[in-house]
Chains A and B, each alone.
Chain A
Amino acid sequence: MPASETKHTHAEKHSFLSGGGEMGKLTRAKDWSKTSLGNPDSWPQSLRTTLSIILNSRFPMFLWWGPELICFYNDAYRPSLGNNGKHPHILGQPAKEAWSEIWDIINPLINQVLTKGEATWSEDQLIPIYRNGKIEDVYWTFSYSAVNDESGVPAGVFVTCVETTESINNKKNLEENERSLRLMILQAPVAISILRGENYLVEITNKRALELWGRTEEEVKDKPILEAMPELLNQGIKDFLDDVYKTGNRFSATELPVEMVRKGKMETKYINFSYEALYDSDGNINGIMAIGFEVTEQVLSRQKVEESEHNIRTLVENAPFPIGVYTGREMRITLANESILDAWGKGNDVIGKLYRDILPEFENQEIFRQLDEVYNTGIPFHAKNQRVDIVVDEKLQPYYFNYSFTPLFDMKGKIYGVMNTAAEVTDINVANNRLEESEKRFRNSVIQAPLGIAIFRTPDYIAELANETYLQLVDKSEDEFIGIPLFQSLPEVTDVVKPLFEDVISSGKAFHSSELPAFLNRFGGKDLAYFNLVYHPLKEDNNTISGIMVVATEVTQSVKAKQSLEEREKHFRNMVMQSPIAMTILRGKDHVIEMANSIMMKTLWKKDEEEVIGKKMLDVFPELKDQKYPELLKKVYEGGEVHRESESLTLIQHVNSLTRFYFDLEYAPLYDTEGLISGIMATVNNVTDKVEARRKVEEAEERVRLATEAAELSTWDLDLQSKIIIHSPRLAEIFGHEKSEKLSHLQMRSQIHPEDKERIVEKAFEIAMKTGVYFYEARVVKPDESICWIRTQGKVFYDEKKLALKMIGTLRDITEEKIYRQELEEREQKFRVLADFMPQFVWTGDADGNLNYFNQAVYDYSGLTPEQMKNEGWIQIVHPEEREQNIKAWMDAITHGKDFIFEHRFKRADGIYRWQLSRAIPLRDANGIIQMWVGTSTDIHNIKEQDEQKDYFISMASHELKTPVTSIKGYVQILKTMYADKEDSFLINSLNIVDKQIVTLTNLISDLLDVSKIKTGRLAFNEENFELSVLINDITEEISNINPGHKIEIAATKKIIIKADRDRIGQVLINFLTNAIKYSPQSKTVKIKTMVKDNEVIVSVEDNGIGINKKDQERIFERFYRVEGKNENTFPGFGIGLFISAETIQRHNGTISVESMPGVGSVFSFALPIH
């Protein structure tokens, strides 16, 4: 037949191998007879079915089958093996060889599946495999599950797997992104530094931080911060740091004044900053991140504004004439100086009260009306020598005042109050004096006031008066200014001021201006200055205006400060808009969205501007109402505390479903120029991907951690440059330390046993540097001086320039294993010496049944050399007739861990085969796992020959005996017949006894013949249907006749038909009954019972005889076994009856058994199936 046709037939024959693409083809073409699975013809159905599924599946699948775990896989799996690696040679290879590099990892999983039948599941596990010509880091998500064979025992491990290397790499990239984000933050426009350890060593600082500190990087890097900046020592900074370090509570401060050295000088700086604890992987605080930015300028400019306000207030309060300020239409007293309080005869408690309430006596004195008018019209009111009745000392008394009510305008020109100035002119003289006095003081105070005050007279605006401050403002001397028209001395202001003056003159109304810009030629140049101004018309008695009083405060600095604040705000807005991090600004207590950058709009909110800008946050995102956010925003808005949160879980409505997000967020209050909170800046970084990726990584890590813990493995990661090692807690434990301890690389090395350090560990390290693979087994001296063995395995990782960067690996305590191995080796050594001197054949095999040792006797007998035995296999010395059975029995023993016992012939050096009895037992470790097999073979050739001869002899002898017995029996019967009528009773008796003994002899002969037939397998049965109870009755009757001394009781039986050899079953019954009678000489009753239980009929014979002890019960059904003891000596016979009975019952697929107690009796029973 042509080859192709043969193949076709082969595939057809094994339909389970059809299809399956390349792997199908390879699997079909493979010569399986060379593997332990043998030819596919002999494969079990379970393997065939599984294989058919695998080969035809498009999902990557792999199968290990049989005791050697032979590998199969499909086309979908094949890419995972890469090129130039395992494919295709591992097809049909034992798993241990095919996957040697990861055997340590997968073997426990396989064992778990095979022994417990439990499936495993591993996700994204790193299992480096050999492919593409090198060991590659490959991540897998895989499951192992057991495939049972026909007997329900796991015979194979079914693997489904997906390579997840790519997705893991994606995850790594994600982490890389995270790192660059971190870098970006480090370059952020705020100062950031990382302080490590309890001495706060400066580990990282960015440029801003250095600027803030006024230091160079060299001055601070790797130094304790308080050493590098000793000026911080006495400012409580250390306490803040210590607190954060101890408690992990975040510390933040706003506008904290800190004294710092700048350009060699101490300066006060105001800083907003926060200290945040940093944690190591074990959750312990190991550093602090300090973030800060300087707010000195803002603080100072605000302080200046406050100072000038304070100055004005002081001025008012200390003015020598009465001044009061009443605000609002209701005229609430907001300011009242000492002088006006004196005039009213009141105390300080009037502030905040209503003018009308504290001076009710003015009700009818026109004063309230005057005030109302000024408030309503904005026209000042002046009174001269006006009588005012005031209650002083509880009496209404008349006083005379010159007084004015001047309207106060706000920035928008709206009246918000009235200023009241007055002078008492009660006694005219006194008044005159006082006036003079007051005028003098006024002039003095004007001259000395920090407000610039000047009076210009119409029509040329000649400066009549200008105080020091004013002169300073305009940078003129008195001579240059007083008596000279304004626009002559300050021509540069003409364009701005002249129209305003003219307006004041023509309207008679005061002009108020805030932050009026003006260019002044002063301080040697053209200077832009800002003023808060009041141009006040000076009216004569006839209401003509004779001049203008100018009150000026220069606010250039505060304006500039404000402008720079605005500028900053502009920058800030730009920063927000351009930020790669989502930001939004929420205004007011309703959190109206003022602005949001495009990142926020596009990626998080997924909304257009018109949908959100100007709307309330919670209206736009109603789903946030039920979450924690409204509360948080409120807290920040009202409390002013910055709220920061990492990986906050947020649910956002996208389209129709709530989507789960994780955000790093910050809510920071925004302050207006008055220092009041006006809004919130929310910075939101979507870290959902990161968190989810990390969770997955964490889960995977957790699994690996659990797996490694379960395997007692510890892991480590050594930076080859810095020699910094990171290790799992288990490693410290192996080295004899507390789990929580962190060991340095140096410390680990120092604990290596001195003998192993150079010889083993350092050498292994050198090799690792050359080959990239680190492996050694060495001793470790623990702190308590005990010694343990470790096995370290690692792998070197390189950078792009092939420079060894780090080494990652595992470390395992192998002390027990090592001790066991040593003991084993010692034992093995002893054993071998012993074994080699033994004349018997001794051999051993590994757990998989591969024979690996034969003692000298085997080689002597077979004439083979160890090489020949190894190369050609031990089976070659087994007789061809027994080989197949031999392999089957051996595999059966290996698979099930059962003792091996087998008779076979071995070929001697001279070509003669001799019979051997081989036995082998498995040696197990403490866990019951088979370690090896130990076997012996004993030459039984002579015994076997003798046995055969004996059986032949028995057969022959029995036949030969029959003829003389026949003749004796015949003649006795003739004699009995002949002398039946005679009265010689002795003769008759004698003949009866002879006759009876001949029957016994006849039975013995037939038993012996049966035994020899059993031995040679020639015992034949003639099965027929018969009624068991009839047989029992017949036999009982027969036995009763022969043994009239015993009574046999039959328990009522119903009609049971069985199919069996009637005569043989009868023989069994006879055997039971005669034994019962024979061994119960004292008791005279034997009971026979029949019962039906589950498809079986059980017949039992019970006696109250001498009984059988436990030891004997086990062997009583063996050939030629007889119970020994005193009483039995009186009972003759070969112990073969029970042997034949047992054989008979077993051949009928029944069971035979005995229950007995010495001195009490025995119950023999047999059970037969009812068809």
Chain B
Amino acid sequence: MPATPSHILIIDDNEDILYMIKAMLEMHGYKVSVKQNIIELELGLTELCPDAIIMDMLLSGADGLEVCRMLKANEKFSHIPLIMISAHPSAKKECKEAGANYFVEKPFDMNDLVAIVKTALK
């Protein structure tokens, strides 16, 4: 376990999923911040300065793909690894096109998610 744990930001409007992922990652020793929406996301990102971002593709009130593109267009954040989650297996392609670094399909296995996060942080 590293002395300074990596900081992961999870964005999902579904509270259950949000805290489940949080619990999983915390179990594996990560520092986790959560956000249920993307209001003042830019401000939050600057503040939190996460090492990686996990984000659901479908967010109430926002298009996850659009957010993805926006983040990757902003040089302040474009370096942060971005993991997208969706129930639609076909979304994988769109997400990659929008600039996402990783894609995880729902429902997922905890070990698979942790492995992807680990890879993203390398």
Interface residues of A (CB under 8 A from B): 959, 962-967, 969-971, 973-974, 977-978, 998, 1002, 1006, 1020
Contact = CB atoms under 8 A, between A and B. Distances in A.
B110 A962 contact: no
Contacts of B106: 962-963, 965-966
B17 A974 contact: no
A539 to B, nearest CB: 163
Interface string B86-120: 01111000000000000000111111000000000
B20 A970 contact: yes
Interface of B: 14, 16-17, 20-21, 23-24, 27, 87-90, 106-111
A304 B86 CA distance: 144
B23 A963 contact: no
Given A959-B88, A974-B24, A977-B27, A966 B107 contact: yes
Nearest to B20: A970
Instruction: Tell me if A's interface is mostly helix, strand, loop or mixed.
Output: helix
Nearest to A970: B20
B24 A962 contact: no
A972 B111 CA distance: 13
A973 B24 contact: yes
Contact of A970 (B24, B87, B88, B89): B24
B110 A977 contact: yes
A966 B109 CA distance: 9
Given A963-B17, A967-B17, A974 B110 contact: yes
Given A959-B87, A977-B110, A966 B27 contact: no
B10 to A, nearest CB: 12
A973 B14 contact: no
Contacts of B109: 969, 973
B16 to A, nearest CB: 4
Given A970-B107, A1006-B89, 7 more contacts: A959-B87, A962-B107, A963-B87, A967-B20, A969-B108, A970-B108, A974-B27
Contacts of A974: 20, 23-24, 27, 110
Nearest to A1006: B89
A970 B21 contact: yes
Nearest to B88: A959
Q: Which 7 A-B pairs have CB atoms at the shortest separation, nearest pair first? A: A962-B87, A966-B107, A970-B20, A973-B110, A966-B106, A967-B16, A965-B107
Nearest to B111: A973
A1091 B24 CA distance: 46
Nearest to B104: A966
B27 to A, nearest CB: 6
A957 to B, nearest CB: 11
B87 A971 contact: no
Contacts of B20: 966-967, 970-971, 974
B14 A967 contact: yes
A978 B27 CA distance: 9
Contacts of B111: 973
Given A959-B87, A962-B87, A970 B110 contact: yes
A525 B62 CA distance: 162
Most chain A CB within 10 A, of B16, B20, B106, is at B106
A1002 B14 CA distance: 19
Nearest to B56: A963
Given A963-B87, A973-B24, A974-B24, A1002 B110 contact: no
Contacts of A973: 24, 109-111
A995 to B, nearest CB: 10
B34 to A, nearest CB: 14
A998 to B, nearest CB: 7
B107 A1002 contact: yes
B36 to A, nearest CB: 15
Contacts of A998: 107
A98 B110 CA distance: 80
A974 B17 CA distance: 12
A964 B21 CA distance: 13
A1006 B111 CA distance: 21
Most chain A CB within 10 A, of B24, B87, B88, is at B87
Contact of B14 (A959, A963, A978, A1006): A963
15 contacts: A959-B88, A962-B107, A965-B107, A966-B17, A966-B20, A966-B107, A967-B17, A969-B107, A970-B24, A970-B110, A973-B110, A974-B23, A974-B24, A974-B110, A977-B27
B66 to A, nearest CB: 19
A999 to B, nearest CB: 9
Nearest to A978: B27
A873 to B, nearest CB: 44
B88 to A, nearest CB: 7
A1063 to B, nearest CB: 10
B98 to A, nearest CB: 19
B57 to A, nearest CB: 11
Contacts of B27: 974, 977-978
Most chain B CB within 10 A, of A959, A964, A973, is at A973
Most chain A CB within 10 A, of B27, B88, B107, B111, is at B107
B9 to A, nearest CB: 18
A43 B121 CA distance: 65
Contacts of B90: 1020
B67 to A, nearest CB: 19
Contacts of A978: 27
Nearest to A961: B87
A1071 B89 CA distance: 20
A969 B109 CA distance: 8
A198 B87 CA distance: 109
Contacts of A977: 27, 110
A866 B46 CA distance: 78
A965 B108 CA distance: 9
Contacts of B89: 1006
Contacts of A1006: 89
Nearest to A967: B16
B5 to A, nearest CB: 18
A964 B16 CA distance: 9
A998 B106 CA distance: 12
Nearest to A959: B87
A1002 B108 CA distance: 10
B115 to A, nearest CB: 13
B106 to A, nearest CB: 4
A973 B21 CA distance: 11
Contacts of B14: 963, 967
Most chain B CB within 10 A, of A964, A970, A978, A1020, is at A970
B91 to A, nearest CB: 10
A952 to B, nearest CB: 15
A977 B17 CA distance: 17
Contacts of B107: 962, 965-966, 969-970, 998, 1002
A962 B14 CA distance: 12
Contacts of B23: 970-971, 974
Contacts of A967: 14, 16-17, 20
Nearest to B12: A963
A1020 B110 CA distance: 28
Contacts of B24: 970, 973-974
Contacts of A965: 106-107
A977 B24 CA distance: 9
Contacts of A969: 107-109
A969 B89 CA distance: 18
A966 B110 contact: no
A919 B115 CA distance: 57
A974 B23 CA distance: 8
Contacts of A963: 14, 17, 87, 106
A963 B108 CA distance: 10
Contacts of A971: 20, 23
B97 to A, nearest CB: 16
A991 to B, nearest CB: 13
B56 to A, nearest CB: 9
Contacts of B108: 966, 969-970
A454 to B, nearest CB: 157
A706 to B, nearest CB: 71
A1001 to B, nearest CB: 9
